Structure 1
Amino acid sequence: MKTGVMPVGHLNIEQVRQILVMATTPPPLRGARPWRFQCTPGAIELYADIDEGPERREQLLSCGVALLNLRLAIKAHGSHPDVRLLPTAGRPDLLAVVRPRGHEPVSPVDRRLAEAIPVRRGNRSPFTAAAVPPEVQRELRRAAEIERSWLATVEPEQIPLLREIMDRAVPENGDRTDFDVQPDRLLVVVGSLHDTNLALLQAGQAMQRVLLTATASGLSSALWSAVMAQPGPRRELRQLLGGGLWPQVMLRLGHGAPVAPYTPVRLEDVVTSDEHPFSAGLR
């Protein structure tokens, strides 16, 4: 095994490099990047060192974000990403194997989302009171559903109870003054029917598809997951949303001031290559 980028399938080394730059663009929800990629002759493999503690959920969500970007980047290069999630129980650190298959034109929607990857930014500035149009809200909900997750909207009458839940979550998770909630702002929660590793990977992809859809529609976004880190407040939020979904992350969407760009990650720090991949038998 060695550090670096190599050709994968019919994609040349420069195409793979561009794809991995897009895949590694998003920062993790919190702390160090939990993911790493491995190039093999036929696939790009996504690995992660996942804790079994309270940070596991955020780590898997962050890996899902990177995976969605990887899929969109492969599509933007005219190929179909054949994805296998959690392909073997014997390697829990292997989250996904993605094989570029064939040649196909990129759809307008996928191109639009891929173009949004380098410009999407988290925005903690105050948002204006300008409303998010209903048709855009429908598009955001559809984006989550495509990734087998759901987008629940926090209604204005739920805001007072939500503030109480957030206040109880803050002491162990830091200050939330930069994530104020207002009845006239769009506040949504990405949720899943289950709380397994697979569901969290799907929810991470759903979160990123929602965020990229918002960016492509000219919206700013901020995310907050601290309330999900404690079992008590998370159960309360689940009940507030009707009790059917496991809440994974809360998003504030609207119109905010421009923000600074991300500092790109060095591919050498997160990408390895292997001529004899573990996934060789996963055909």
Structure 2
Amino acid sequence: MTNHLRSAVEAAVWAPSLHNSQPWSFVIEGDEIRVRADSERWSRVSDPEGREQLISCGAALFTIRTALRAAGLRPVVTVLPDPDRPAVLATVRAAGPLDADEQVKLMNEQITRRRTHRAGFAGTPVAADLVDALVKQAEAEGARLVPVEGAAVRALAALTAAAEEIQARDRAYTLESVRWGRPPGSRRGDGVPAGAYPREQRRTSPHFAQRDYSHGHSWGSGEERYDETATGLVALLTTCGDGRGDWIAAGQALQRVLLHAAAHGVRAAFHTQALERRHLRAFISEELCAGEHPQMILRLGHSRAEGHGVRRPLPEVLDEG
């Protein structure tokens, strides 16, 4: 049993997170995994309420569920189990046995293969039936994936650009984000490696601004694999509520969507800059989400780029009771 739990935690560290900060830690005790928020990895300037941190931890929680199910164990999950310990976000007890279906197996295979995309996509559109399937994947976790088009796409692109420019002029934000940009040759197991984005951004139409992890250096990949310029499918991930439980649910829905998409050759880029500005997030909620709460702005598409991922070793994130 312990080996299965350790393997599930090893899988969980591959979940997506803001700046690849990996803002989580885990405890294994008996037949249970505890998922905790790591306050030392909380980006307080860009994420003052901890919303994005909990979305990241929710994605890790779904990854644990998937890994356990693929191992033939039934995960019994309790979210926010103890109000006196707010850092403990969830407990997962391994019960069973459980026969893993083909969808679980497919998603489990993508856990370590999935990569965040930071450029344009190829011109091949995401198939309509796959879009419908991704919408259902989000619904299964209590969230909504809402594809947007036309004027809404242009509005989101403009808001992303405005937020990126505002943040670039904010000294506190810049100092915080510098922490997560990794120079070429870095051996760190967190942050964004220099090879994970293009050295020169090729504009899409409309263009969604990327975060600047090079901070004035000539970092990034100059390979031709980043010559794709399609925007891809733009979508919003939303929830009805906007509390801590909703953020964790959004993270689980996000990872479920990402793994299902990856199993069908579709990658995702994230653009959360506008959601980190309170007034812009409120505008998006009222004008584009029918009053629901936007938790993630993402683009989905096909790309030849393989991406480059790094993660911290298990001893840095796991305590065993």
Mapped pair 1:105 → 2:96? no
- What TM-score do you get using the length of structure 1 for normalisation? 0.86
The within-5 A match list for 1:1-283 is 11=1, 13-30=2-19, 32-49=21-38, 54-55=46-47, 56-174=50-168, 180=204, 182=206, 185-274=232-321
The worse-fitting range, judged by mean Cα deviation, of 29-38 and 59-68 is: 29-38
| Deviation at residue 173 of structure 1 after TM alignment | 3.1
| Deviation at residue 263 of structure 1 after TM alignment | 1.9
Secondary structure of the corresponding residue to residue 305 of structure 2: coil
Alpha-carbon distance between aligned partners in 2 of 1:73 and 1:228, rounded to the nearest angstrom: 30
Secondary structure of the corresponding residue to residue 126 of structure 1: coil
| Deviation at residue 174 of structure 1 after TM alignment | 4.2
Alpha-carbon distance between aligned partners in 1 of 2:61 and 2:116, rounded to the nearest angstrom: 18
| Deviation at residue 158 of structure 1 after TM alignment | 1.8
After superposition, the Cα gap between the structure-2 partners of 1:116 and 1:179, relative to the gap in structure 1 and judged at 3 Å, is: farther
Alpha-carbon distance between aligned partners in 1 of 2:307 and 2:162, rounded to the nearest angstrom: 31
Partner of 1:3: none
After superposition, the Cα gap between the structure-2 partners of 1:82 and 1:179, relative to the gap in structure 1 and judged at 3 Å, is: farther
Alpha-carbon distance between aligned partners in 2 of 1:232 and 1:178, rounded to the nearest angstrom: 29
After superposition, the Cα gap between the structure-2 partners of 1:178 and 1:139, relative to the gap in structure 1 and judged at 3 Å, is: farther
After superposition, the Cα gap between the structure-2 partners of 1:224 and 1:184, relative to the gap in structure 1 and judged at 3 Å, is: closer
For 2:261, give the aligned amino acid: A
After superposition, the Cα gap between the structure-2 partners of 1:119 and 1:85, relative to the gap in structure 1 and judged at 3 Å, is: same
Q: Contact 1:125 / 1:257 at 8 angstroms: preserved in 2?
A: no
| Deviation at residue 159 of structure 1 after TM alignment | 2.5
After superposition, the Cα gap between the structure-2 partners of 1:263 and 1:163, relative to the gap in structure 1 and judged at 3 Å, is: closer
Gaps of 5+ in 1: 1-10, 275-283
| Deviation at residue 116 of structure 1 after TM alignment | 1.0
After superposition, the Cα gap between the structure-2 partners of 1:103 and 1:271, relative to the gap in structure 1 and judged at 3 Å, is: same
Gaps of 5+ in 2: 170-196, 207-229
Alpha-carbon distance between aligned partners in 2 of 1:48 and 1:61, rounded to the nearest angstrom: 11
Partner of 1:8: none
After superposition, the Cα gap between the structure-2 partners of 1:203 and 1:31, relative to the gap in structure 1 and judged at 3 Å, is: same
Partner of 2:173: none
| Deviation at residue 98 of structure 1 after TM alignment | 0.3
* Count of matched residue pairs: 263
| Deviation at residue 168 of structure 1 after TM alignment | 2.4
Q: Contact 1:44 / 1:98 at 8 angstroms: preserved in 2?
A: yes
